[in-house]
Structure 1
Amino acid sequence: MTCSVAWDDAGLPAWGTAPRSDFWVAVEQNGPWGARAFTQSRLDQATGAAIEAEVLAAGGRPLLIRRPASHADHADHPRRRVYVAGGLAGTPWLLTGSVAEPEVVLALPFDQLAEADPDALAGAIDWLERLDEGVLLVCANAKRDLCCAVRGRPIALEADRAAPGRVWECTHTGGHRFAPTGLVLPSGQSLARLTPDVALAALRAADAGLLASETFGPWHDRGRGHLEPVCAVAEAYVRELIGEADPSALLVEEAGSNDVEVTHRDGRAWRLWLAQQEHPEHLPESCGKAALTARPWTVERVETGP
Structure 2
Amino acid sequence: MSTCSTASRDLEEPLAGTAATARTWLLLEQSGPWGAKALTSSHLDPALGRALEAAAKGTGVRIALIRRPGRHADCGTPAIRQVYAAHTVPGAVWLHSATTRDPRELLDLDFAALGRGEHQSFDAVLAARPHAGDPLALVCTNGKRDRCCALLGRPLAAELAASGVEGVWEVTHLGGHRFSPTLLVLPYGYAYGRAEAHAVKDVLHGVQEGRVVVEGCRGSSAWERPGQAAELAVRSHARVYAADALSVVRTDGAAPRWEVTVTHADGRRWRVVVAQGASAPPRPESCGTSILGAPTRMDVVEVRELIRTTALAS
The two structures have a TM-score, normalised by structure 2, of 0.89
In 2, distance between residues paired with 1:193 and 1:40? Answer: 27
Q: Shift in Å at residue 164 of structure 1?
A: 4.7
- Match for 2:288: what amino acid? G
Q: Secondary structure at the match of 1:147?
A: helix
- Match for 1:237: what amino acid? A
- Distance of aligned partners of 1:288 and 1:78 in 2 relative to their CA distance in 1, 3 Å threshold: same
Alignment of 1:1-306 (within 5 A): 1-74=2-75, 76-118=77-119, 120-121=120-121, 124-132=124-132, 133-211=134-212, 213=213, 216-217=214-215, 220-252=216-248, 253-257=250-254, 258-289=258-289, 290-306=291-307
Q: Could you tell me which runs of 5 or more consecutive residues in structure 2 were left unpaired when the two chains were aligned.
A: 308-314
Q: Shift in Å at residue 121 of structure 1?
A: 5.0
Deviates more, 1:295-304 or 1:186-195: 295-304
Q: Shift in Å at residue 166 of structure 1?
A: 0.7
In 2, distance between residues paired with 1:205 and 1:83? Answer: 21
In 1, distance between residues paired with 2:95 and 2:67? Answer: 18
In 2, distance between residues paired with 1:250 and 1:174? Answer: 24
- Distance of aligned partners of 1:126 and 1:47 in 2 relative to their CA distance in 1, 3 Å threshold: closer
Q: Shift in Å at residue 70 of structure 1?
A: 4.3
In 2, distance between residues paired with 1:207 and 1:37? Answer: 30
Q: Shift in Å at residue 246 of structure 1?
A: 2.3
Q: Could you tell me which runs of 5 or more consecutive residues in structure 1 were left unpaired when the two chains were aligned.
A: none
Contact 1:99–1:127 under 8 Å retained in 2: no
Contact 2:247–2:264 under 8 Å retained in 1: yes
Contact 1:87–1:115 under 8 Å retained in 2: no
In 2, distance between residues paired with 1:241 and 1:70? Answer: 43
- Distance of aligned partners of 1:33 and 1:126 in 2 relative to their CA distance in 1, 3 Å threshold: closer
In 1, distance between residues paired with 2:165 and 2:75? Answer: 18
Deviates more, 1:54-63 or 1:109-118: 109-118
Q: Shift in Å at residue 150 of structure 1?
A: 0.2
Deviates more, 1:66-75 or 1:21-30: 66-75
How many residue pairs were aligned? 300
Q: Secondary structure at the match of 1:190?
A: strand
Contact 2:27–2:63 under 8 Å retained in 1: yes
Percent of residue pairs bearing the same amino acid type? 38
Q: Secondary structure at the match of 1:31?
A: coil
- Match for 2:161: what amino acid? D
Residues 265-288 of structure 1: CA deviation (Å, up to 9, x unaligned): 223222121212333310121112
Q: Shift in Å at residue 210 of structure 1?
A: 3.2
Residues 139-161 of structure 1: CA deviation (Å, up to 9, x unaligned): 00000000000000011011112
In 2, distance between residues paired with 1:117 and 1:293? Answer: 39
Q: Shift in Å at residue 81 of structure 1?
A: 0.4
Q: Secondary structure at the match of 1:239?
A: helix
The two structures have a TM-score, normalised by structure 1, of 0.91
- Distance of aligned partners of 1:27 and 1:181 in 2 relative to their CA distance in 1, 3 Å threshold: same
Q: Secondary structure at the match of 1:300?
A: strand
Contact 1:122–1:130 under 8 Å retained in 2: no
- Distance of aligned partners of 1:165 and 1:247 in 2 relative to their CA distance in 1, 3 Å threshold: closer
